[in-house]
Amino acid sequence: MAQLHKKFTDGEVKRLLERYIAGKIKRVHIEKILGIKRRRLYELVKRYRNNPDNLSIKYRRIKPARSISKDIENNITCELKF
């Protein structure tokens, strides 16, 4: 299962949420379309209701994955040079 931000754009998710809130799409149907569970859907609906213009499903990583500290990197390079 691919992640939500890789399968859909922000606009597509907004349109689906608008239709869900308006009662045009049932919860089970939108969960199948998006490939998410009920809890994730309710989180998206809450975020959409709080700020519909700025809803984004983009993934925001706080720090880079799989990184090592500069001290360790320097130690490795010194050992490799040796």
Number of domains the chain is built from: 1
Q: Is residue 77 part of a domain?
A: no
- Asked if residue 78 is part of any domain, the answer here is no
Position 68 in a domain? no
Percent of the chain at pLDDT > 70 equals 98
Q: Tell me the torsion sign for CA atoms 57, 62, 63, 65.
A: negative
pLDDT by residue (tens digit) across 31-57?
999 999 999 999 999 999 999 888 888
pLDDT of residue 69: 86
Hey, CA dihedral for 6, 11, 13, 14, is it positive or negative? positive
Q: Is 2 within the bounds of a domain?
A: yes
% of the chain residues with pLDDT over 90: 60
- Give the pLDDT score at 75: 93
- Per the structure, the complete domain to which residue 22 belongs is given by 1-59
pLDDT of residue 16: 93
Looking at the domain assignment, is residue 74 inside a domain? Answer: no
Cβ contacts of 20 within 8 Å, gap of 6 or more: 27, 30, 41, 45
